[in-house]
């Protein structure tokens, strides 16, 4: 299919303004245009939600991740994708009341719905296979903060310190703190002015002090800091003067009520509010993460939206700049979150995203059915407007005003009024600053079954990740947990025989350490080896040092550590203490572990083992020359690789277009001159025909009316008419030759355009993240650089 290409979104078909008829060619939208953001406006029933869901579907097929904020519950329909289009797939989701009103059984109505969807897709040259491509290309997950109906999202577990890049930007940090504090105070019913409210100023100071130090907070720590702030002055005023302790207690009590509320636990469970993890699965597959907030009250909605937008701003600032589309942020209904005059907590981060996200390849798409609730000054950064049917003349006037202000160059107010006057269902006016003129189009049939808003119970039925714990979702075990697992897997010969209450005497010359956080009743002796390894691979661009550690039991002969029996961990410096934490029993220590010379010998054994067996596995993509950074996993690599491939694809396509542009321009100019020549030849032929007709008519008229024999002049006129009639044939031949020349040029232009399209399609295929080659390379450490830094007896 023409539209099935990476880098373009299939939105629908253009509509002829005069007739309202669809044109046969698909409307293809360059995905990079979304980096300048988009706004979709339309009343209920205009098809706005269907268009925006189609936009998210196209992003998913193209491998572009998205975060979609869903205040109404409609976006869960993205989970209702049925590649086989069977009636039984639709049956659980049909409206039984609608079936009864149509005097149909639920089974019959499900069959009719399935057939309707099959026909609808077919009319738009789509099928079940394309639905399958969507499901294969991107994971779709519904997050339900405050509920485990979908995928739980922990938004109150901690108020994490922003990254260093954001903390170094005073303005950005102040904006983040202000939005977070406003959202938190909104939860307890306090509408706080950041300048005048002492509650806002106090909490902002608490967060600022902690975040400047890089320290995370949770709600409990914030409550404690309100009661006993870690500072004595705010500005030049003493703390007790500015905000007395008894008043602070009242604020702490209000915040504590949140913590003590019966449903509070649900806010602390689930996946962390990590934008990178929302956008990509642990395996690096792009994800459409739907954050459903339809089940929440207004205060909780505002808090979550504000916190999420703040996290997106922080994530954005950590990314590299790009001209390609890296990810999408979509909000289904911005009523109340981006008003023209009021300043809700959500407005500041939204303004930041509208102004700055383009440089980082983050596209923002906002939708609303209430045009009067839009801050059109903020939306002046939107490069694409989708305008559907509007309810009132006031709405139309407001949208036209905003459209002329945001993207008004080359627009005519009367033309806009005419185009907006007769918009039907699913017909939109698209104004894209990258196009020469506005376009009317009809949105395509959605791949997802649009059955309407979904309740929590329905989300629970369809969400494959509901109630999945973070550990099950792929969180890695800590090194201590890994050690526990290793102990459980140890053979019987490696386990101590018995435990004693008294710690054995360890001779001088043997380093002795204790694993922190051990929960066992008896501590077992193990051998700790810590080594520093140097990995170098010039071809892959790798030159890095890595510290690894092993906590090993003795082998079956109880003479040497069994390094091969355990997996290496990270640098364990923070996990060990020089003194035990508490009184516990100690297991017997084999005699060999109490000899200092054993540890000297074991150093050599570990070095030899590392040279023979240690490797660093990296992932390399020859197509873009990208290599995973040491310490990253394959999922993170694939996420970065997808963007790198899109950037290279877009860059190479731009190069191709620049390469072919002069030849295309030359042929188009030749075509224009050929058309002008045809018009001249046709005009000359028409004039010749008229002159000939006049000459012949004059001759015939003279012959009929003359009373005498034909005069010499009459004979001359007849000869002239004959000669002019002969020239008609020559002029006709000239027209034919001009048309043939035009046809040759037209064919050459088509061939060149096809050649360009084939070259671009080749690039799209070669640089498709789903099929591009990824090499796994195992690098051995340099033997001469390997250093065993620690060999110690460790109690675990």
pLDDT tens digit string along 527-536? 999 999 998 8
Task: Classify residue 410 as exposed, middle or buried by CB count within 10 Å of its CB (0-12, 13-18, 19+).
Answer: exposed
Q: How far apart are CA 400 and CA 420, in angstroms?
A: 9
Nearest-CA neighbor of 546 among 774, 775, 776, 780?
780
For residues 130 and 444, the answer to whether their CB atoms sit within 8 Å is no
Q: Is the pLDDT of residue 705 over 50?
A: yes
Write 116-122 long-range contacts (CB < 8 A, 24+): 117/82, 117/85, 117/90, 117/445, 117/449, 118/85, 120/445, 121/85, 121/445, 121/447
DSSP for 194-226, written as a single string: TTT-HHHHHHHHHHHHHHHTT--B-HHHHHHHH
Q: How far apart are CA 470 and CA 370, in angstroms?
A: 38
Least confident of 4-18, 321-335, 515-529: 515-529
Number of neighbours of residue 86 by Cβ within 10 angstroms: 14
- When pLDDT is averaged across residues 369-394 and rounded to a whole number, the result is 84
Q: How far apart are CA 573 and CA 394, in angstroms?
A: 67
CA torsion through residues 316, 320, 323, 326, sign: negative
Q: Is 359 helix (H, G, I), strand (E, B) or coil?
A: helix
Strands 271-272 and 237-238: unpaired
- When pLDDT is averaged across residues 146-172 and rounded to a whole number, the result is 82
Q: How far apart are CA 449 and CA 76, in angstroms?
A: 10
- When pLDDT is averaged across residues 521-532 and rounded to a whole number, the result is 86
- pLDDT score for 481: 39
Cα 223 from chain centre: 35
- When pLDDT is averaged across residues 191-201 and rounded to a whole number, the result is 88
Q: Is the pLDDT of residue 698 over 70?
A: no
Domain chopping of the chain, boundaries: 479-615+780-795, 652-772
Nearest-CA neighbor of 590 among 625, 555, 634, 614?
555
Q: How far apart are CA 370 and CA 390, in angstroms?
A: 9
- Tokens representing 686 are 């028409």
Q: How many helices (H) and strands (E) does the chain have?
A: 21, 26
| pLDDT, tens only, 426-457 | 999 999 988 888 899 999 999 999 999 999 99
For residues 217 and 177, the answer to whether their CB atoms sit within 8 Å is no
- pLDDT score for 463: 80
Question: Looking up tokens 């058309």, which residue turns up?
Answer: 675
- pLDDT score for 275: 92
Q: Is the pLDDT of residue 72 over 90?
A: yes
Least confident of 146-160, 511-525, 603-617, 650-664: 511-525
- pLDDT score for 26: 92
CA dihedral 350, 325, 289, 373 (to 10 degrees): 30
Least confident of 29-33, 384-388, 712-716, 755-759: 712-716
Task: Classify residue 105 as exposed, middle or buried by CB count within 10 Å of its CB (0-12, 13-18, 19+).
Answer: exposed
Nearest-CA neighbor of 461 among 114, 59, 144, 154?
144
What is the reported pTM?
0.75
% of the chain surpassing 70 pLDDT: 85
Name every residue whose Cβ is closer than 8 Å to that of residue 729 and which is 6 or more positions away in sequence.
none
Q: Is the pLDDT of residue 476 over 50?
A: no
- pLDDT score for 420: 85
Q: Is 709 helix (H, G, I), strand (E, B) or coil?
A: coil
Helix (H) or strand (E) holding 719: helix 712-766
- When pLDDT is averaged across residues 578-586 and rounded to a whole number, the result is 68
Q: Where are the alpha helices (DSSP H) in 74-163?
A: 87-90, 96-101, 106-123, 128-137
- pLDDT score for 87: 95
- pLDDT score for 709: 47
Comparison of pLDDT for 47 and 523, the residue scoring more: 47
Arithmetic mean of pLDDT over the chain: 83
- pLDDT score for 142: 96
Q: How far apart are CA 431 and CA 466, in angstroms?
A: 40
- Tokens representing 695 are 């000459």
| pLDDT, tens only, 91-149 | 999 988 889 998 999 999 999 999 999 999 999 999 999 999 999 999 999 999 989 89
- pLDDT score for 14: 94
% of the chain surpassing 90 pLDDT: 37
- When pLDDT is averaged across residues 748-767 and rounded to a whole number, the result is 84
CA torsion through residues 441, 444, 449, 454, sign: negative
- When pLDDT is averaged across residues 20-35 and rounded to a whole number, the result is 92
Q: Report the range out of 437-441, 633-637, 764-768 with the highest average pLDDT.
A: 437-441
Q: Is the pLDDT of residue 466 over 90?
A: no
Given pLDDT bands bounded at 50, 70 and 90, which one contains residue 634? low
Q: How far apart are CA 656 and CA 668, in angstroms?
A: 18
- pLDDT score for 473: 37
- pLDDT score for 500: 52
Given pLDDT bands bounded at 50, 70 and 90, which one contains residue 571? low
């Amino acid at each position: 299919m023409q539209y099935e290409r990476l880098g373009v979104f299939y939105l629908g078909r253009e509509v002829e303004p005069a007739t309202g008829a669809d044109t046969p060619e698909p409307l293809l939208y360059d995905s990079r245009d979304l980096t300048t953001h988009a706004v979709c406006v339309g009343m209920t029933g205009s098809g706005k939600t269907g268009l925006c869901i189609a936009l998210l579907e196209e992003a998913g097929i193209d491998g572009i991740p998205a975060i979609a904020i869903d205040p109404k519950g409609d976006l869960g329909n993205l989970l209702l994708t049925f590649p086989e289009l069977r009636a039984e797939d639709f049956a659980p989701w049909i409206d039984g009341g609608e079936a009864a009103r149509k005097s149909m059984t639920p089974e019959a109505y499900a069959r009719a719905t399935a057939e309707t969807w099959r026909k609808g897709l077919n009319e738009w040259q789509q099928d079940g296979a394309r639905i399958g491509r969507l499901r294969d290309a991107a994971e779709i997950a519904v997050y339900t903060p405050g509920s485990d109906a979908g995928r739980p999202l922990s938004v109150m577990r901690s108020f994490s310190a922003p990254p260093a890049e954001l903390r170094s930007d005073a303005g950005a940090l102040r904006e983040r703190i202000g939005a977070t504090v406003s959202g938190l105070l909104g939860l307890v019913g306090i509408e706080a002015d950041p300048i005048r409210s002492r509650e806002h100023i106090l909490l902002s100071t608490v967060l600022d002090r902690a975040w400047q130090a890089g320290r995370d907070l949770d709600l409990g720590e914030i409550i404690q800091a309100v009661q006993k702030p870690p500072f004595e002055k705010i500005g030049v005023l003493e703390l007790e003067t500015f905000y007395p302790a008894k008043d602070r207690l009242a604020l702490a009590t209000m915040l504590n009520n949140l913590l003590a509320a019966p449903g509070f636990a649900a806010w602390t469970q689930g996946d962390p509010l990590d934008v990178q993890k929302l956008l990509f699965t642990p395996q690096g597959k792009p994800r459409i993460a739907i954050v459903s907030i339809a089940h929440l009250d207004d205060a909780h909605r505002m808090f979550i939206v504000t916190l999420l937008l703040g996290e997106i701003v922080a994530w954005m600032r950590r990314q590299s700049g790009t001209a390609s589309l890296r990810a999408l942020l979509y909000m289904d209904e911005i009523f109340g979150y981006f008003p023209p005059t009021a300043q809700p907590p959500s407005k500041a981060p939204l303004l930041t995203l509208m102004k700055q996200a383009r440089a980082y390849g983050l596209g923002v798409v906002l939708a609303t059915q209430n045009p009067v609730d839009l801050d059109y000054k903020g939306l002046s950064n939107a490069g694409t407007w989708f305008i559907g049917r509007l309810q009132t003349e006031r709405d139309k006037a407001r949208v036209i005003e905003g459209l002329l202000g945001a993207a008004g160059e080359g627009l005519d107010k009367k033309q806009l009024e005419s185009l907006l006057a007769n918009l039907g269902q699913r017909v939109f006016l698209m104004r894209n600053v990258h196009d020469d003129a506005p376009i009317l189009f009809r949105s395509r049939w959605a791949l997802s079954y649009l059955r309407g808003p979904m309740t929590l119970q329905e989300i629970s039925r369809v969400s494959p990740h509901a109630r999945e714990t973070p550990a099950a979702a792929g969180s890695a075990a800590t090194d201590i947990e890994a050690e526990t697992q290793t102990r459980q897997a140890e053979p019987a010969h490696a386990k101590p025989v018995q435990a004693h209450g008294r710690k054995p005497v360890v001779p001088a010359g043997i380093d002795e350490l204790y694993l922190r956080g051990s929960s066992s009743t008896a501590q077992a002796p193990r051998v700790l080896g810590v080594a520093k390894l140097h990995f170098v691979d010039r071809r892959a661009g790798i030159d890095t040092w890595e510290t690894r550690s092993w906590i090993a039991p003795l082998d079956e002969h109880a003479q040497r550590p069994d390094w091969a029996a355990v997996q290496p961990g990270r640098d364990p410096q923070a996990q060990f203490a020089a003194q035990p934490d508490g009184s516990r029993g100690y297991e017997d220590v084999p005699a060999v572990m109490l000899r200092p010379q054993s540890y000297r010998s074991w150093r050599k054994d570990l070095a030899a083992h590392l040279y023979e067996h240690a490797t660093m596995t990296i992932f390399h993509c020859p197509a873009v020359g990208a290599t995973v950074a040491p310490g990253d996993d394959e999922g993170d690599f694939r996420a970065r690789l997808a963007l790198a491939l899109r950037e290279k694809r877009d860059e190479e396509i731009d190069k191709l277009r620049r390469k072919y542009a002069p030849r295309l321009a030359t042929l188009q100019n030749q075509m224009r001159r050929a058309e002008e020549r045809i018009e001249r030849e046709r005009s000359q032929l028409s004039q010749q025909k008229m002159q000939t007709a006049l000459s012949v008519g004059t001759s015939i008229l003279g012959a009929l009316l003359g009373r005498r024999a034909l005069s010499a002049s009459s004979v001359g006129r007849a000869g002239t008419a004959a000669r002019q009639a002969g020239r008609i044939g020559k002029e006709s031949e000239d027209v034919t030759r001009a048309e043939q020349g035009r046809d040759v040029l037209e064919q050459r232009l088509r061939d060149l355009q096809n050649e360009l399209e084939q070259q671009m399609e080749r690039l799209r295929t070669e640089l498709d993240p789903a099929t591009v080659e990824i090499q796994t390379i195992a690098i051995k450490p340099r033997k001469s650089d390997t250093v065993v830094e620690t060999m110690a007896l460790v109690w675990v």
